Amino acid sequence: MQLDGQVAVIGVGSVGSMALWRTALRSRDVVGFEAAHSASDRTAVGGDTRLFRRAYQEGAKYSGLLAESERLFLELNDSGGTAFIPCGGLSIGARGGSYMSALGVSIRETAAEHSVLEHDELGARYPQHQLLPNDFGIFDPHAGAIRTDQAVLTAVELAKQAGAVVKSHTRIRSVVSHRDHVEISSESERWHFASVVIAGGAWSSDLLPERVRLGVYAARLSLSWFLARDAADYLPERFPIFIRESGGVHIYGAPTVDGATVKVSGMTPHTRIEDPDQLVRDLSDVENMAAIDAVSRFLPGLHPAPVRADSYPELYSPDDAPLVGWVDEMPGVYVATGFSGRGFKIAPGVGETIAREILGGAPSPELAFLSPQRALSP
């Protein structure tokens, strides 16, 4: 069998772009297949920014991927553009509350660099946040905002410079494992590769083996932007990314990247969808009212009326941990999907893991918890 290349990456989005970049540095025969174009705002790349942090509530098991990702985001910055805005990050909440308690445990386990800001100091340093009496803060100096489109497009550029080819507007319809290679097909063409990475985000289900497909589901997440009364107060040097659980409300946000509006979201949970291509972009009245209420209560420097709102698709796993690794049912096929609303911050580290493992490296034992071979009952 004449192969068309060593590695195919299906989906050149948040994670696929990083896999393509890191793999292309080690192998010249790498091809990315992208149904739309990289950094399309109809994918999980959309919405300007994602939060990155090292002091991470989800715990120590992610700390290696986060450290690697921070290094690689900074490497993307060195290649031009600003993929990563290192503005630091604030967690805000009540002492004894579930979020701040879990974060404290994780910080102790990982020895993540941080400083504690008691109520008055937090209020003095970051007056943009209207605090409740029990609120205090934890500042993570390694946190920041990832400019998603810049990160993806820079990674694709670096992959191409290293010899990778990207076939845009090419949706892969089937993936079939043979004894010594993997065959992939679009509507009209067929290719053969030694190994294939499935990184199709919310659209991955159709390509996954049944056992995995039955455990995952596509979902819709929404974002809202608010006009700042004085945008200078919300620039990255004055307004770190933040996550807050106060008074029964969960919100997070990022500094302004357009010099006018501030992204504030997280007030309503993700909702399950059947088809990511039919995703409803508009926010419902309930979603808009939750956003308006949270901004009125907690961020008085913003006009409490969303001037922009949109929704994006994501694939969730049953335990909210991503699926990263080989799938036994499909020899030669490596899955990197199901990032469950948290994947951008680890995308470069996952890309590096994929490159290492797909080109012959042994699976990392510390990432066994991400294996698609784990129990995935819905």
Ligand X SMILES: Cc1cc2nc3c(=O)[nH]c(=O)nc-3n(C[C@H](O)[C@H](O)[C@H](O)COP(=O)(O)OP(=O)(O)OC[C@H]3O[C@@H](n4cnc5c(N)ncnc54)[C@H](O)[C@@H]3O)c2cc1C
Q: 165, exposed or middle or buried, with CB in 10 Å at 0-12, 13-18, 19+? A: middle
Q: Which of residues 229-288 bind ligand X (CB under 6 A)?
A: none
Q: Is 325 in the site for ligand X (CB under 6 A)?
A: no
Binding of ligand X at residue 137 (CB under 6 A)? Answer: no
Please report whether residue 343 would count as binding ligand X according to CB under 6 A: yes
| Minimum distance, C-beta of residue 119 to ligand X, in the bound complex (Å) | 25
Contact indicator for 297, 251 with CB cutoff of 8 Å? no
The token pair at 23 is 């793999």
Near ligand X by CB under 6 A: residue from 21, 33, 73, 239: 33
Binding flag, residue 200, ligand X (CB under 6 A): yes
Q: Indicate the residue among 45 and 355 with the shorter CB distance to ligand X.
A: 45
Residues 290-319, mask of contacts with ligand X (x by CB under 6 A): ----------------------x-x-----
> Does residue number 7 form part of the binding site for ligand X (CB under 6 A)?
no
Options 45-53, 68-76, 289-297, 368-376: segment touching ligand X (CB under 6 A):
45-53
Q: Which of 7, 8, 9, 15 binds ligand X (CB under 6 A)?
A: 15
Closest separation between CB of residue 232 and ligand X, Å?
24
Examine residue 62 and tell whether it contacts ligand X (CB under 6 A). Answer: no
Beta strands in 25-164, from DSSP E residues, in sequence order? 30-33, 49-52, 84-85, 89-94, 115-117, 135-140, 144-147
CA angle 255, 54, 221 (to 5 degrees): 55
Binding of ligand X by 51 (CB under 6 A): yes
Residue 271 main-chain phi, psi, to 5 deg: -125, 145
**CA nearest 69: which of 344, 254, 338?**
344
Measured from the CB atom, the residue of 11 and 215 that comes closer to ligand X is 11
**Which residue's Cβ lies closest to ligand X?**
13
Residues 207-226 that bind ligand X (CB under 6 A): 221, 223
CA–chain centroid gap for 5, Å, is: 28
Alpha-carbon distances of 316 from 92, 193, 195, 329, 374, rounded to whole Å: 26, 28, 24, 21, 15
With CA atoms as reference, report the closest residue to 16 among 204, 276, 209: 204
Closer residue to ligand X in complex, CB, 119/342: 342
Q: CA–CA separation, 55 vs 139, rounded Å? A: 9
| 339 near ligand X, judged by CB under 6 A | yes
Candidates 353, 38, 333; CA nearest to 166 is 38
344 contributes a contact to ligand X by CB under 6 A: yes
When asked if residue 43 is in the footprint of ligand X (CB under 6 A), the reply is: yes
Q: Is 138 in the site for ligand X (CB under 6 A)?
A: no
User: 50: burial class by Cβ within 10 Å (0-12, 13-18, 19+)?
Assistant: buried
Residues that bind ligand X (CB under 6 A): 10-16, 33-36, 40, 43-45, 47, 50-51, 171-172, 199-201, 203, 221, 223, 312, 314, 337, 339, 341-345
